[in-house]
Amino acid sequence: MAMSADHRTGLRPSTRVVSLGRPPHEDDAAVNPPITLSSTYVGTGAVASGSRGYGRYSNPTWDPFEEALADLEGAQVPGLLYGSGLAAIASALDLVAPGGTVVMPAHTYQGALLGAQETAATGRFDLVTVDIADTRQVVEALTEAQRATADLEHPRPVMLWLESPTNPMLEVADMPALIEAAHSRDAFVVADNTFATPLLQRPLSVGADVVVHSVTKYLAGHSDVVLGACVPATAEVRDLLLHHRSIQGAIAGPFEAWLGLRGLRTLALRVERSCANAQILADRLAEHPAVTAIRYPGLPDDPGHRVAAAQMDGFGAIISIDLGSAAAADRLVEQCRLWTPATSLGGVESLLERRRRHTAEPESVPEGLVRLSVGIEDVEDLWDDLTAGLAAAGS
């Protein structure tokens, strides 16, 4: 028989990532959900709400992942899977009122920031960027946005876009305080939870309206699939997102959805190991003479440590270090042999890159900043490779 929902809610997250989205426990049933390859579905008459109808509206292969992620985030309605993280971001941004205002971290993921900037340039909405770790500055921006949009007759005149920790500067937002301030000013809150994953942080539990993920990163976890997801807090918002996904065609392929769910099974193990490795490496990097600055919320003297410790169940597996110049950073990246020089993050393998090699990265990101995505390898091997690279960087 199938595991009951009441029984499942009593399980810890590290168990739920393994057990969610499974077929019922019946004799000779498959342990894993199958892949459904169909572009259309049998039906007559009007396509009612909830009907599969066509492959752009629904696919049975999406359902287990969408239900599992919603459970992990603490949502009461299923999530929505997209063809990429940016597709999910675009869908969430579309929720703000035409002529409204989006308040976004200055150091948010560059794809989200660039997408918001280009959309704002069309006049669709106004964009205000803030230091998301400066609660007073964010509240002031929300207050001004509320004044500027007072005449809009729309349920979402202002959107606060949260990302915490931020990419790549690892600033930490006081999420409960900012969400409360946003709602008191008629603002809708979207939180990008890619870095933390629902194992370390659950923004819906402190009032966020939608959570966004690049499933490509930690959730899938193996650098072999491109996917995104939105997890709304209400059925009303889910219907709006579903309509946008269906009409814009930002859908996931069934193979990608299946791979995403397979990757989710080991999320707890991967996050636990990566976070443990990151803490050890951050402690050592903080003392290394070639490192001029470091950001990692797990360091006691990091500016975001206190807030992160209060609202997260761990500090994540991303470290940012500044080597003082682009040349030094490039030497580090070129010298490393175990660490892979590549963009993206959250896979089992450790990656590093100088972020300003991307022309769209904000100028406020230091030229010498290297973002480290810490994987699950032996930490001493990772450290040996880093120290060899840092020796070259300092020469």
Rounded CA separation 352/395 (Å): 20
Sign of the dihedral through C-alpha 188, 191, 192, 197: negative
One of 109, 131, 302, 330 is an active-site residue; which one?
Answer: 109
One of 52, 56, 262, 357 is an active-site residue; which one?
Answer: 56
CA angle, 60 then 346 then 180, to 5°: 80
Catalytic residue list contains 337: no
One of 71, 131, 174, 192 is an active-site residue; which one?
Answer: 192
Rounded CA separation 149/146 (Å): 5
| CB neighbour list of residue 190: distance below 8 Å, 6 or more residues apart | 92, 93, 95, 159, 160, 161, 162, 208, 209, 210, 211, 212
Catalytic residue list contains 12: no
Rounded CA separation 127/316 (Å): 28
Catalytic residue list contains 28: no
Rounded CA separation 226/260 (Å): 9
Count of CA atoms in the C-beta half-sphere (13 A) of 339: 29
Task: Give the pairing of strands 351-354 and 369-373.
Answer: antiparallel
| CB neighbour list of residue 66: distance below 8 Å, 6 or more residues apart | 78, 79, 80, 81, 229
* Residue 380: count of CB within 10 angstroms of its CB: 10
One of 16, 22, 217, 295 is an active-site residue; which one?
Answer: 217
Sign of the dihedral through C-alpha 36, 40, 41, 42: negative
Q: What are the Cα distances from residue 98, in Å, to 14, 154, 188, 245, 331?
A: 41, 9, 14, 18, 46
Catalytic residue list contains 385: no
Rounded CA separation 231/364 (Å): 31
Q: Strands (DSSP E) along 97-199, which ranges?
A: 100-105, 125-130, 158-163, 187-192
Listed residue (224, 228, 246, 248) closest to 83, CA to CA: 228
Residues recognised as catalytic: 56, 109, 192, 217
